[in-house]
Structure 1
Amino acid sequence: MQKRLMRDMKDVKIAGVCSGIAKYFEVDPTLVRVIWGILAFAYGFGIIPYLICWWVMPIDDGRDDDQEIIF
């Protein structure tokens, strides 16, 4: 199965960006949120990239795109 960078809507705090990145890199979402918070508040870098990721990253709705849909 191919890894895709998507916003995770199961473990969401604001938009699911950090949990999606954590899922992609297989790390704890809290670690990604802490790093992103430090970048955003201490250095000022992080707010604009977060908003861009929020807008660009597709939503992971839990379905596999490879599965055949049967009605």
Structure 2
Amino acid sequence: MNGIYRPRDGRVIAGVCAGLARRFGMTPWTVRLLALLSCLLPGPQFVAYIVLWVMLPNERHMARTY
């Protein structure tokens, strides 16, 4: 499967960081740490996470469409 999707395995909250990590070839914990550290900076990080949660399809939905 190509693209970004929220995997069934390896989720902590919604699978957003795990999906981004798989897409960009990183470990999920690295992406989670970067997301956590970004919360120290001003900006809409929580809103971006929620938007990605809603917009990224689940892995099982991706399997049905291909």
TM-score, normalisation: structure 2: 0.84
In 1, Cα distance between the equivalents of 2:18 and 2:24? 10
Structure 1 vs Structure 2: percent identity of aligned residues? Answer: 23
What is the CA-CA distance between 1:63 and the residue it aligns to? 3.4
Could you say which structure has the higher helix fraction?
2
Using CA pairs under 8 Å that are at least 6 residues apart, name the structure with larger relative contact order, 1 or 2: 2
Unaligned runs of 5+ in 1: 67-71
RMSD: 1.8
Deviation of the 1:65 alpha carbon: 4.1
Counterpart in the other structure of 1:69: none
d(CA) in 2 for partners of 1:44 and 1:58? 28
In proportion to residue count, which structure has more strand? 1
Question: Partners in 2 of 1:56 and 1:50 — Cα distance?
Answer: 10
Q: State the structure with more CA Rg.
A: 1
After the TM superposition, list the runs of 4 or more consecutive aligned residues in structure 1 that deviate by more than 3 angstroms.
62-66
User: Alpha-carbon deviations, 1:5-62, whole Å to 9, x = none?
Assistant: 101120000000000000001110000000001112x114311100000000000128
- State the TM-score, normalized to the length of structure 1: 0.78
